[in-house]
Structure 1
């Protein structure tokens, strides 16, 4: 994948790729791998934070935790969609919220942490909101791409040797993926700042530094959480994102999903239950590039029967935080 942007250079892209791969790595380690000084990495990091909304955050992996995930499509009256999106963005169990369909639709990923939370949202709050005209909820069944595997990796900004040098050493998991009640303060602190130091995490949790280190290592090893980055794709020259609701023949579901995972344009793809059986997020430079992808590589993919495209007008929330309006 080629990058077309004058906003930043190849080193900035390498830094994004390094943080996507090893978000908690010390700047000194990243600098050594990239062949620059610690001060340069720190300065570039501050610049990307200010200009591209860069944040390093911990994300709960609902699929590994065995928790339900839903893609919600809420058709709203035009004057209410913004307020509904903002209200959803305040919830800790939502992510990837965007305004679409000319401002009449809110698209949202919901990750309820309990059956009670799920029922409260899907059967309680949303149906009682008078400005919501229609609710479509599709359960996510199987992730083909996304989660711990980030989109920046498709730019091939790092060499194989650099990737090997940066890849964090995670001990083998000693049990199933789970977040114990005593780990909740630790995960919450990392959701706010994935690069929080161990002394900072110690203060946030009230636990010893050694206990924090052991708990974090166990959480990462089991896959219960992973460290990811949030940023504005516009800084790379990719200003348009769209949800693709794809219908395939049943026998082609897995092969189409696996193929989508290899496409440069796809940042996320999952099998779903509902009217369509795959939902994917495409990130492209502009409407022309979106048309080229829909009519070209995606349109020619064997097994694809129908595609509904929902471009985002504005993204309201990414992984864990609300984006500025």
Structure 2
């Protein structure tokens, strides 16, 4: 999938079965097609054809990612102010970096927002203190460190409502979302993740070949990493194909004593695929996805309006998504050795 250019929403609109497949993969990105077909009440061939069409046309991709807070990645949300007319080029350059995800152009086309997932403090600081400020078209940079995530990793987005409760229960796998201690990935884990970052549904023979381990060993190890909440599977799909036409970045000031309760509440909203606590004056960061502008208005005034602890609210619509969660760009891998300057 090309992460650097938006897909024309007119091409291959998603029907009800497509949306069911997407929601099922958000619950379990590696669910066997035979099991998925059984849950959806269709044939194996139908599910396989649907997935291959969506994947082949670049409309959907399953990717396997590490949960950054568990494996020691330095995660920050960065906003880059640009000279008018240069945001596109800056966003494209950021999207090509393997340590950058969720690149959007916001605020009238003069601001780029992204998420850094750096392997070291030095790598993160090099970007924030040297490379971005030293770029002639950049007029300002602000960064907030991600302290805690309520939603946005294992567990998936709850905004789709295509499956019933029984179907969701049949697909859900046991995962320890509550464990947040550090986890040391070994070389075989990293080799496996370098494959899964390209294709979360890579076969066990492919994973075995990449790691030098047996198929049974990589199967057990991947199950363990998934159940421990170290590795999760994300579905890259443009919300517009699912009937959601508005994405926005939300920042809010919340008192430290209220942050956990407010963050948990906001993270449970079906409109919110990502919610986190951050450093900075506005300690709550979230992404909001709605069907239209009226839906965004209703969310802000009704759901958020009912949370009295939310203050200094800022809503910034995304004008263009340049890159989503994928950390693979131009053949560079997150766990490759860093390039020597």
TM-score (structure 2 length as normaliser): 0.86
Looking at secondary structure, tell me which structure has more helix per residue. 1
Closer, same or farther: CA 177–285 of 1 in aligned 2, 3 Å: same
1:159 maps to which of 160, 164, 172: 164
Structure 1 residue 52: deviation in Å? 6.9
Structure 1 residue 169: deviation in Å? 5.7
Residues 91 and 103 in structure 2, CA contact (< 8 A), matched pair in contact too: yes
1:287 maps to which of 290, 293, 296: 293
Structure 1 counterpart of 2:223: 217
Deviations 1:249-283 (A, max 9, x none): 33322222122123221111111111211110000
Partners of 1:299 and 1:51 in 2: how far apart? 40
Q: What SS does structure 2 have at the residue aligned with 1:122?
A: helix
154-163 or 268-277, larger mean C-alpha shift: 154-163
1:13 maps to which of 13, 19, 24: 19
Closer, same or farther: CA 50–240 of 1 in aligned 2, 3 Å: farther
Residues 179 and 219 in structure 1, CA contact (< 8 A), matched pair in contact too: no
Partners of 1:170 and 1:106 in 2: how far apart? 34
CA RMSD after TM alignment: 2.4
Residues 142 and 270 in structure 1, CA contact (< 8 A), matched pair in contact too: yes
Partners of 1:171 and 1:320 in 2: how far apart? 23
Structure 2 counterpart of 1:307: 313
1:59 maps to which of 62, 65, 83: 65
Structure 2 counterpart of 1:126: 132
218-227 or 238-247, larger mean C-alpha shift: 218-227
Structure 2 counterpart of 1:203: 209
Q: What SS does structure 1 have at the residue aligned with 2:74?
A: coil
Q: Is the counterpart of residue 108 in structure 1 residue 114 in structure 2?
A: yes
9-18 or 160-169, larger mean C-alpha shift: 160-169
Structure 2 counterpart of 1:272: 278
Residues 316 and 322 in structure 1, CA contact (< 8 A), matched pair in contact too: no
Structure 1 counterpart of 2:173: 168
Q: What SS does structure 1 have at the residue aligned with 2:153?
A: coil
1:75-114 equivalence runs, <5 A: 75-114=81-120
Residues 60 and 236 in structure 2, CA contact (< 8 A), matched pair in contact too: yes
2:256 maps to which of 250, 253, 266: 250
Residues 154 and 232 in structure 2, CA contact (< 8 A), matched pair in contact too: yes
Structure 1 counterpart of 2:323: 317
1:237 maps to which of 234, 238, 243: 243
Partners of 2:85 and 2:185 in 1: how far apart? 39
Partners of 2:204 and 2:56 in 1: how far apart? 24
Residues 64 and 232 in structure 2, CA contact (< 8 A), matched pair in contact too: yes
Closer, same or farther: CA 168–250 of 1 in aligned 2, 3 Å: closer
37-46 or 190-199, larger mean C-alpha shift: 37-46
- Structure 1 gaps, min length 5: none
- Structure 2 gaps, min length 5: 1-9, 330-341
Partners of 2:196 and 2:281 in 1: how far apart? 36
Partners of 2:138 and 2:120 in 1: how far apart? 24
Q: What SS does structure 2 have at the residue aligned with 1:134?
A: strand
